[in-house]
């Protein structure tokens, strides 16, 4: 990878972190003035009302960094525009949901619609590695589209589901994207690496304001945006590696949030609940019920995510 693309990646990270950190107090002020306040209840961990517009700062920091650092010079402008359009749309869904609590089925339909820009621009999982035959399977257009929709919606909701403790979703997103950036650099994918750096920088820039005890939440706005961006960057990056093991790399990097996403509806159905019914029985909630403090649970989750990311980097290099 050239020095210029390395430099652009670092610049993207720095811009995203600075812009997000600087805009978060403004987002908090806006949330308080507009009444975008999340009230505590039996399902939530925070004990006092908190503003929920942190995701607006994350979105601004990430997208400003990506475009200013020149992501469009390392990938097709059409591709970056599609990712931007879809991410902004899904963030708007979260923005509305933070205020009026949209029905789960409606949110799912809207999330599926948010993948349309990716499909139109050809940003799809069009090939999948076969670890058994060490070959590549090229998917028909309709199947590539379907797999992409399922992946993007799944990762979007995975990040949202782990956003239950102060600093958890932001930190996991940052660690995952750092790992994905190294993987992209190993496979000479400067555009994907730059986008990963912008996402990671935005998440890190938000952490000082979101660390326990948090002064602001990212809300569904931020969680949906981060999840969508991470999913999209794996489609243009990790899934494009010409390696038999490539199919497992993005799944391994996102193992923690994806595991909770898979287990949650299964657990609810087994206990007689609706699969989309919100509860307080996620992995992080279970760890707290075992007696761990909130900061220790967050730290433990960071560590597991970092280990999974390190293993994924090793796999991508070998």
Q: What is the pLDDT of residues 81-133, one digit of tens each?
A: 999 999 999 999 999 999 888 998 999 999 999 999 999 999 998 877 666 66
H/E stretch holding 209: helix 190-210
Q: pLDDT by residue (tens digit) across 153-163?
A: 999 999 998 99
Q: Which of 44-58, 78-92, 206-220 has the lowest mean pLDDT?
A: 44-58
292, pLDDT greater than 90? no
This prediction has a pTM of: 0.91
Q: Checking phi first, is residue 40 left (phi over 0); if not, alpha (psi -120 to 50) or beta?
A: beta
Number of domains in the chain: 1
Tell me the DSSP string of 171-190.
Answer: HHHHHHHHHHHHHHHHTT-H
- List Cα–Cα distances, 258 to 49, 108, 154, 263, in angstroms: 29, 17, 8, 9
254, pLDDT greater than 80? yes
- List Cα–Cα distances, 216 to 166, 220, 287, in angstroms: 9, 13, 23
Where in the sequence is the domain holding 207, given as residue range(s)?
A: 3-317
DSSP-assigned beta bridge partners for residue 138: 127
The sign one gets for the Cα dihedral 191, 195, 197, 198 is: positive
Contact 210, 45 (CB under 8 A): no
Q: pLDDT by residue (tens digit) across 175-187?
A: 999 999 999 998 8
DSSP-assigned beta bridge partners for residue 130: 135
Tell me the DSSP string of 265-313.
Answer: HHHHHHTTS-TT---S-SHHHHHHHTT--HHHHHHHHHHHHHHHHHHHH
244, pLDDT greater than 60? no
282, pLDDT greater than 90? no
pLDDT at 42: 59
The neighbour count for residue 25, using CB atoms within 10 Å, is 13
Between CA 31 and CA 37 the distance in angstroms is 7
pLDDT at 74: 84
């Amino acid at each position: 990878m050239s020095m210029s693309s390395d430099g652009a990646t670092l610049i993207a990270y720095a811009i995203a972190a600075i812009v997000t950190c600087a805009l978060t107090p403004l987002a908090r002020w806006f949330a308080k003035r507009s009444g975008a306040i999340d009230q505590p209840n039996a399902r939530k961990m925070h004990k006092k009302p908190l503003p929920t517009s942190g995701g607006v700062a994350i979105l601004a920091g990430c997208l400003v960094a990506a475009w200013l650092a020149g992501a469009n010079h390392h990938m097709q402008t059409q591709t970056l525009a599609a990712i931007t359009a879809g991410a902004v749309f899904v963030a708007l869904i979260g923005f509305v949901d933070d205020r009026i609590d949209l029905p789960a089925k409606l949110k799912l339909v809207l999330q599926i619609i948010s993948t349309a820009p990716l499909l139109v621009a050809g940003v799809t999982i069009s090939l999948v590695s076969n670890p058994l035959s060490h070959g590549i399977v090229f998917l028909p257009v309709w199947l590539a589209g379907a797999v992409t929709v399922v992946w993007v919606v799944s990762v979007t909701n995975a990040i949202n589901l782990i956003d239950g403790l102060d600093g958890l979703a932001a930190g996991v997103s940052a660690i995952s994207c750092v790992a994905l950036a190294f993987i992209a650099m190993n496979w000479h994918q400067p555009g994907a690496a730059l986008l990963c750096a912008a996402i990671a920088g935005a998440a890190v820039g938000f952490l000082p304001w979101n660390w326990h005890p948090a002064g602001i939440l990212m809300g569904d706005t931020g969680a949906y945006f981060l999840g969508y961006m991470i999913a999209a960057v794996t489609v243009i990056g990790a899934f494009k590696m010409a390696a038999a093991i490539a199919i497992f790399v993005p799944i391994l990097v996102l193992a923690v949030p994806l595991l909770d996403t898979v287990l949650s509806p299964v657990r609810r159905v087994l206990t007689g609940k609706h699969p989309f019914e919100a509860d307080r029985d996620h992995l992080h909630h279970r760890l707290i019920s075992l007696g761990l403090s909130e900061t220790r649970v967050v730290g433990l989750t960071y560590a597991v995510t970092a280990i999974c990311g390190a293993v994924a980097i090793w796999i991508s290099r070998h």
